[in-house]
Structure 1
Amino acid sequence: MMLSLFDQFMSPVLLGIPLMALALLLPWLLMPKPCSRWLNNRFTTMQSCFINIFTKQVFLPMSLGGHKWALLLTSLMLFLITINMLGLLPYTYTPTTQLSLNLAFAVPIWLATVIIGMRNQPTHALGHLLPEGTPTLLIPALIIIETISLFIRPLALGVRLTANLTAGHLLIQLIATGAFVLLNLFPTIALLTTILLYMLTLLEVAVAMIQAYVFVLLLSLYLQENV
């Protein structure tokens, strides 16, 4: 019996073994493998087209140094989309509702972009901490503010992804519970609530895809500042 609405975000356990690893490996098992045939099936062709469109859109305005990250960021976006979409199925678990996991994705890549910027162009990287033409009295305060904003970037990435997915899942559960309770009392209102639930589910599917795209897009913007 569920004691709290937030119990659905706890890592599932089977015989004392956490199933977080299985939830993280499942998307890679579902991905179609490349084959040696001349013609691929429709799903593989659609996936290749989607990857090409995403790569061109994200990395076209970026300098050539950032194109080396195309494989990493594209794989990350496909991984996040698959996890988010699988989490909408019944009796499943969404690992990206855990802030610790999202920070594990955001912090290393963000830190790598900062290190690259400091190594390749330290003057330009440090110039972001102090805008040009700043009054002398405001220089210490602006340096502190810009430094805090720099270090808060990965936290903002993780919180954004976690909060959007958690809020959507909670809202779906609340509306589904309300429709189930109203089924015997007010069938008409229950029917309208069910229609609202279906519409919200479609919205959550869009949110699951958009949030994965926004997560990777912001990482690419951070990379673009440092390459």
Structure 2
Amino acid sequence: MMMSFFDQFASPSFLGIPLIALAIGLPWILLPTPPSRWVNNRLITIQTWLITRSTSQLLTPLNVGGHKWALLFASLMVFLITINMLGLLPYTFTPTTQLSMNMGLAVPLWLATVIIGMRNQPTAALGHLLPEGTPAALIPVLIIIETISLFIRPLALGVRLTANLTAGHLLIQLIATAVLVLGPMMPTLAVLTAVVLFLLTLLEIAVAMIQAYVFVLLLTLYLQENV
């Protein structure tokens, strides 16, 4: 029996071995691999079309120099979507509810965009710290504020993904518990609560996909400033 609602976010282990590696690697096994032949089945065709359309939409505002990131962004988006979606199944674990994992994804990718900007166009990269036409008296304050906002970006990426998924899982757990408690006492109210639970589950499925897209979209916006 679950002792706390937050126990569902604890990393599971078996015989002292953390199972988070299995939860991260399993989604890749479930995805069908496109064959080398010209004609594919419907599933692979739809999968390829969705990934291609999503990637082209992400890379639309980028310069040609940023298009080399297409494979990385597409893989990251599919990776996050599959992990978030599989985490909604019963008796499963969602690795993206762990802030440490999300920060492990956000910090290196954000730092890569900053390094690329400082290497390719250092003047433009540093120019983002000071808006054009700023009064001389406000220059030190604005530089400090923009520098802080620059270093807050990876934290915002990781916390946004963690908070949205954690809140959704907690709401589902709370409403599911209410359905079980109200079932024997007030069946009508339990049925209405179950309908709310079903609608919330659909919303959480949408959130799982949208948050993965937003995570990659924000990375493309950060890259856009540095290419």
Q: TM-score, normalised by structure 1?
A: 0.98
Q: 2:42 matched to which residue of 1?
A: 42
Shift of 1:37: 2.9
Shift of 1:156: 0.1
Q: Are 2:193 and 1:193 equivalent residues in the alignment?
A: yes
Question: Matched residue of 2:132: which SS?
Answer: coil
Shift of 1:27: 0.9
Aligned length: 227
Question: Matched residue of 2:225: which SS?
Answer: helix
Q: 2:219 matched to which residue of 1?
A: 219
> For 2:4 and 2:135, how far apart are their aligned partners in 1?
53
CA deviations over 1:13-70 (Å, ceiling 9, x no partner): 1111110100010011111112133321211111100011112111122111000000
Question: Matched residue of 2:224: which SS?
Answer: helix
Q: 2:119 matched to which residue of 1?
A: 119
Q: 2:158 matched to which residue of 1?
A: 158
Q: 2:168 matched to which residue of 1?
A: 168
> For 2:61 and 2:124, how far apart are their aligned partners in 1?
19
Q: TM-score, normalised by structure 2?
A: 0.98
Q: 1:5 matched to which residue of 2?
A: 5
> For 1:106 and 1:161, how far apart are their aligned partners in 2?
10
RMSD between aligned residues: 0.7
Q: 1:87 matched to which residue of 2?
A: 87
Q: Which amino acid in structure 2 is aligned with residue 188 of structure 1?
A: T
Question: Matched residue of 1:102: which SS?
Answer: helix
Matches within 5 A, 1:105-116: 105-116=105-116
State the percentage of identical aligned residues.
74
> For 2:183 and 2:84, how far apart are their aligned partners in 1?
30
Q: Runs in 1 of length 4+ with deviation above 4 angstroms?
A: none
Q: 2:144 matched to which residue of 1?
A: 144
Q: 2:68 matched to which residue of 1?
A: 68
Q: Are 2:128 and 1:131 equivalent residues in the alignment?
A: no
Q: Are 2:51 and 1:51 equivalent residues in the alignment?
A: yes
CA deviations over 1:86-114 (Å, ceiling 9, x no partner): 00000000000000100111111100000
CA deviations over 1:163-183 (Å, ceiling 9, x no partner): 000000000000000000000
Q: Which amino acid in structure 1 is aligned with residue 36 of structure 2?
A: S
Q: 2:19 matched to which residue of 1?
A: 19
